[in-house]
Amino acid sequence: MSSLKKKVVIVGGGITGLAAAYKLDKEYKRKGTDIDITLIESSHRLGGKIHTVHKDGFVVEKGPDSFLERKKSMSRLIQEVGLADRLVPNSTGQAFILMNDKLHPMPGGAIMGIPTQIKPFMSTDLVSMTGKLRAAADFVLPRSKGADDQALGTFFRRRLGNEIVENLIEPLLSGIYAGDIDQISLKSTFPQFYQLEQEHRSLIAGIKKTTPAPQMDRNGNKKKKSMFLTLTSGLQSLVDTLEEKLAEATILKGVKIESIDHASSGAYSLKMNNGEFLEADSIIFAVPHLAAHAIFYKKNLLSQFKDVPATSVATVAMAFPKDAVTQVLDGTGFVVSRNSDYTITACTWTHNKWPHTVPEGKVLLRCYVGRAGDEAVVDLADDQIEAIVLDDLNKIMKVEAKPDWTIVTRWIDSMPQYTVGHKERLNNIRKELQSTFPGVYLAGGSYDGIGLPDCIDQGEKAANDVLDYLIHDR
């Protein structure tokens, strides 16, 4: 590398861009590499989809509220920046599925809706006896033929039948991807299920063999294990701490990147919406795929992204006095089957799942609206969304009172849909990008995993790619 300071620009100040900037900053200090880091964010705050609000003693997450404990990169980053003492696991409890106007307990042992224990599965009324017998066909059905990608719906319907898919698997998956199970790629979302089928033929047998036996309590009952973690101070506190740690980087907020071009110096030129240009030797685009598509539009690159759907959702947080919710809510919340006549798609009983976020004597219900094929509700006015959600809650849980307050947050085109062929499409796009714009990388929720830990992995990998590129390839 020449002695001239190399310029790295990171576009997008969500968790992916922040993780990339932090990694680059740390690594270049460690290796003594001389680089100049600029992080550009189009809005006036960092965090992207992470956004915590503190109100009347509540900690309200407008976007993500937690992350999967088993994916380690988020807790590792939290520890690295000194927030480990704020990590808290979710309180465990019964989760429900709303079907035919009734909340049904999720059968014990179900993993992503896939039954793994006979007794609780046989006693659930979410699936008819015919549906249960159909699911048992999984033990004898052959493996999927060939290694081509397929839709999650195709895979699960073939193995376990339609009823389990519609009443158990789809509501849960839709809670994660807000998507259409018959379009979402198996290989890009749950490759482990394909792998299990290939290795064990039966999906149920494969899961049973590879899942550790549950721990027992003193009375011989299965211990429920918490799967999620969050920060007592809200996820935004990780964003704020990363921003503080990036004191030596330049952070521009309220500046949008409009397009990219080759600069005469051999580097790249980014056009900003304030009319100015910024030069960069290497760039990480940590923005959603539709934003990346717009930036590369004039270069005729990333055009395939325009056909990749992204679903709009809204979160609706409602605070009540405890006695306003008359039905006893003993559990963590529910997801809604598509075979139900409701607008909300899920509801977390936040005061039970995350008790530290809710003051004594209060209840916080955090609902979702909007999913693939059913997004129009997200465009309604706040009071209309509030009225629809309250009407649903009243029917489901007899919530008749008006909330003390409601926070509606719209997330437009926010849930990227990894449709069948996602991996291959992305590989092709990346190859094309590297041949025209070497040293330019894509990372974030639209690409190699939607969860917060996946985004951190991607940000850090992109940072390593940038360093490799600057040190070895130029």
Which structure tokens are listed for 233? 């101070």
Site for ligand FAD in 307-326 (CB under 6 A): 313, 315
Asked if 439 and 462 touch (Cβ cutoff 8 Å), the reply is no
Which x/- pattern over 395-434 shows residues binding ligand FAD (rule: CB under 6 A)?
----------------x--xx-------------------
Which residue in 179, 234, 288, 403 binds ligand FAD (CB under 6 A)?
288
Which structure tokens are listed for 380? 């309604």
Q: Terminal CA-to-CA distance of the chain, rounded, Å?
A: 7
Which residue in 67, 268, 320, 418 binds ligand FAD (CB under 6 A)?
67
Query: What is the C-alpha to C-alpha distance for residues 458 and 404, in angstroms, rounded to an integer?
Result: 40
Note the residue count of the chain.
Answer: 474
Which residue in 8, 13, 337, 466 binds ligand FAD (CB under 6 A)?
13
For the bound state, the minimum distance from the C-beta of residue 312 to ligand FAD, rounded and expressed in Å, comes to 9
- Residue 206 found at the interface with ligand FAD (CB under 6 A): no
For the bound state, the minimum distance from the C-beta of residue 353 to ligand FAD, rounded and expressed in Å, comes to 11
Which structure tokens are listed for 216? 């027992």
Distance (Å) of CA 256 to CA 11, 12, 259: 9, 9, 9
Q: Strands, E, within 192-239: which ranges? A: 228-231
Asked if 420 and 183 touch (Cβ cutoff 8 Å), the reply is yes
- Residue 286 found at the interface with ligand FAD (CB under 6 A): yes
Which residue in 23, 28, 41, 134 binds ligand FAD (CB under 6 A)?
41
For the bound state, the minimum distance from the C-beta of residue 123 to ligand FAD, rounded and expressed in Å, comes to 30
Of the pair 126, 347, the CB lying nearest ligand FAD is at 347
Backbone angles phi, psi at 268, to 5 degrees: -110, 155
Which structure tokens are listed for 56? 């009347």
- Residue 448 found at the interface with ligand FAD (CB under 6 A): no
Burial of 123 (0-12, 13-18, 19+ CB in 10 A): exposed
- Residue 445 found at the interface with ligand FAD (CB under 6 A): yes
For the bound state, the minimum distance from the C-beta of residue 65 to ligand FAD, rounded and expressed in Å, comes to 5
Q: Strands, E, within 144-281: which ranges? A: 228-231, 250-253, 257-262, 268-272, 277-280
Q: What pairs with residue 283 in β-bridges? A: 9, 440
Of the pair 201, 410, the CB lying nearest ligand FAD is at 410
For the bound state, the minimum distance from the C-beta of residue 429 to ligand FAD, rounded and expressed in Å, comes to 16
Which residue in 8, 9, 11, 186 binds ligand FAD (CB under 6 A)?
11
Of the pair 15, 95, the CB lying nearest ligand FAD is at 15
- Residue 12 found at the interface with ligand FAD (CB under 6 A): yes
Query: What is the C-alpha to C-alpha distance for residues 39 and 12, in angstroms, rounded to an integer?
Result: 7
Query: What is the C-alpha to C-alpha distance for residues 279 and 238, in angstroms, rounded to an integer?
Result: 29
- Residue 63 found at the interface with ligand FAD (CB under 6 A): yes
Task: Give residue 298's identity as a one-letter amino acid code.
Answer: K
- Residue 50 found at the interface with ligand FAD (CB under 6 A): yes
Which residue in 8, 35, 37, 48 binds ligand FAD (CB under 6 A)?
48
Site for ligand FAD in 75-104 (CB under 6 A): none
Dmax (CA) of the chain: 73
89 closest CA partner among 284, 204, 223:
223
Of the pair 73, 167, the CB lying nearest ligand FAD is at 73
For the bound state, the minimum distance from the C-beta of residue 431 to ligand FAD, rounded and expressed in Å, comes to 21
Classified as helix, coil or strand, 433 is helix
For the bound state, the minimum distance from the C-beta of residue 96 to ligand FAD, rounded and expressed in Å, comes to 18
For the bound state, the minimum distance from the C-beta of residue 114 to ligand FAD, rounded and expressed in Å, comes to 21
For the bound state, the minimum distance from the C-beta of residue 40 to ligand FAD, rounded and expressed in Å, comes to 5
Which structure tokens are listed for 230? 């969050």
Write down the residue that tokens 């607008």 correspond to.
Answer: 343
Which residue in 99, 251, 257, 283 binds ligand FAD (CB under 6 A)?
257
Residues that bind ligand FAD (CB under 6 A): 11-17, 40-43, 48-50, 63-67, 256-257, 286-288, 291, 295, 313, 315, 411, 414-415, 444-445, 450-452, 455
